[in-house]
Structure 1
Amino acid sequence: MAAKTKPQTTPKPGNEFLSAEQVSHRYGVHRASIYRWAKESTFPAPIKLGPNVTRWALADLEAWEQSQREAC
């Protein structure tokens, strides 16, 4: 079983952030899929910006996309 990644708590300077809704729209999947992928460590971990604010760094998503293209 793959090691689970914990959500980052400190955002990287200069990052743009996307909400779960924006990320799900980007990949054409349900929001629950995004959280499941992150939990299964097959997707970048979310960043907690506050108690009710979870976002994904655009740079992390783009790096993941590149790794997926290279794996094919």
Structure 2
Amino acid sequence: MNTAQTDEIIEYIRLPEVLRISGLSSATIYRMAGGGKFPRQVKVGEQAVAWVRSEVMQWATNRAAMRKQAQ
């Protein structure tokens, strides 16, 4: 296990929160993650996955920035 200290606090969020933030369906999220177009989930338990909030928020910020550039 890596014991390096980091200043960043990692917050994990579950699928319902990812759906709310992204506005995407779960199928689209998994398809985009598999294609490298959305942050990949992290295995947090035997049968549980979550996403890193900062990665999902950065994705959302980038999407909004692309919209502004297209105008």
Normalising by structure 1, report the TM-score: 0.67
Which runs of structure 1 show a deviation greater than 4 angstroms over 4 or more consecutive aligned residues? none
> Root-mean-square deviation (CA), in Å?
1.9
Work out the percentage of aligned pairs sharing the same amino acid.
23
Which structure shows the bigger proportion of residues in helix conformation? 2
Runs of 5+ in structure 2 lacking a partner? 1-5
**CA shift at 1:29, angstroms?**
2.6
Gaps of 5+ in 1: 1-11
Higher Rg of the two aligned structures: 2
Give the structure-2-normalised TM-score: 0.67
Q: Which has the higher contact order (CA 8 A, sep 6+)?
A: 1
The Cα shift of 1:51 comes to 2.1
Structure-1 residue corresponding to 2:20: 25
